[in-house]
Amino acid sequence: MILISYGDSREAGSGMIDLRKLKQFVAVAEELHFHRAAARLNMSQPPLTAAIRMLEEELGGRLLIRGNRVVELTPAGETLLHHARETIRQAERAVEATRDAASGQAGRLRLTYVGSAMYGRLAGVIRTFRRAYPKVHLELREATTSAQVAALRKGRTDLAILHVPLADSRGLRVEVFDEDRLAIAVPMSHELAQRDRLSLSDLSDAPFVIWPSAEGQGFHHHVVKLCVAAGFVPRIVQEAHQMHGVLSLVAVEMGVAIVPASMTGFRRDEIRYAPISEEGAAFELGICWPEAPVTEIVRNFLCTAHDTAHVL
């Protein structure tokens, strides 16, 4: 392993080599001609010759056999050339990686989301972001609103797409990300599925599958409020912690549900969907991140979201 330095290291045997001298040596070793190597490095020949002699002194052995016009490598020079090339490549990769990380071009972004978000604008934002920043490792995880808020506060995720409003948004930034509407979901086997038209009041006697309040208070309360406005309190028989779980329970005839309209393509052969025309059926998804200064990667995702989904 070669230890490198960006300054001069004149102590023989110190193990530290100036990276500049390594590049100069590689040029001479590849050209096998001091004049051509000097021209390649955009420098005059005498300083280059002096630099190579100093390098030999630092390493304690000859690297080159100098003839009238031809330069040959000694076995020590062959060894140094092999390691010098790799060291220079590693240094260049380190500089590139550091610059990419500083500008948000590379690194890791942890993004959590509620299940319905992928059926709306989020999929397009992710696609655009990955094309623009291919070196960023994007970690995606579906989670409830409550779990996402906890992950943000514990530093376990960087950005969250969740149902708003939040019960407690202290220490968090929240902006509107997407809009959706609610729809009725009933099993195909249910007598309600045979009706030409469905309204909320038709569900008054039906068993309900619902998203638990503890995991998404805003969405849960929105559904209950709509039902109360339609003249009944939903008779909840089952809760599910993911929207796909809610719909899967509807499909196996556990009950009816009110779900995001964006998900009405899920298991359509087993579930009858109907739009809700009542006022207040619209709801919003928010994009959320900690109030602390954001990283460049987070900033780049937010800019992508703004450009592709007209949010923020």
pLDDT score for 138: 96
Question: Dihedral through CA 186, CA 192, CA 196, CA 201, nearest 10?
Answer: -90
What pLDDT does 242 receive?
Answer: 84
| pLDDT at residue 218, as a whole number | 78
* Structure-token match 């559904």, residue found: 223
Q: What is the pLDDT of residue 69?
A: 63
pLDDT of 1-51, one tens digit each? 444 444 444 443 445 678 898 999 999 999 998 989 999 999 999 999 999
User: Is 51 buried (19+), middle (13-18) or exposed (0-12) by CB count in 10 A?
Assistant: buried
Q: Is there a shared CATH topology between the 3-103 domain and the 109-177+286-309 domain?
A: no
3-state secondary structure the chain: CCEEECCCCCCCCCCEEEHHHHHHHHHHHHHCCHHHHHHHCCCCHHHHHHHHHHHHHHHCCCCEEECCCCEEECHHHHHHHHHHHHHHHHHHHHHHHHHHHHHCCEEEEEEEECHHHHHCCHHHHHHHHHHHCCEEEEEEEECCHHHHHHHHHCCCCCEEEEECCCCCCCCEEEEEEEEEEEEEEEECCCHHHHCCCCCHHHHCCCEEEECCCCCCHHHHHHHHHHHHHCCCCCEEEEECCCHHHHHHHHHCCCCEEEEEHHHCCCCCCCEEEEECCCCCCEEEEEEEEECCCCCHHHHHHHHHHHHHHCCC
pLDDT tens, position by position, 251-286: 999 999 999 999 999 999 999 999 998 888 999 999
Fold of 109-177+286-309: D-Maltodextrin-Binding Protein; domain 2 (3.40.190)
- Map out the domains of the chain as residue ranges: 3-103, 109-177+286-309, 178-284
Residue 213 CB partners (closer than 8 Å, separation 6+) = 220, 221
Task: Please choose, from the candidates 276, 278, 248, 246, the residue with its C-alpha nearest in 3D space to the C-alpha of residue 261.
Answer: 276
Which of the four CATH numbers 1.10.580.10, 1.10.10.10, 2.40.30.20, 1.20.1340.10 does domain 3-103 have?
Answer: 1.10.10.10
Q: Domain 178-284, what fold?
A: D-Maltodextrin-Binding Protein; domain 2 (3.40.190)
- Please count the residues of the chain: 312
Inter-CA distances, 275 with 6, 95, 148, 247, 278, Å: 67, 55, 28, 15, 9
Q: What would the 3-class secondary structure string for 9-64 be? A: CCCCCCCEEEHHHHHHHHHHHHHCCHHHHHHHCCCCHHHHHHHHHHHHHHHCCCCE
Dihedral sign (CA 11, 13, 17, 22): positive
Spans of the chain, pLDDT less than 50: 1-14, 311-312
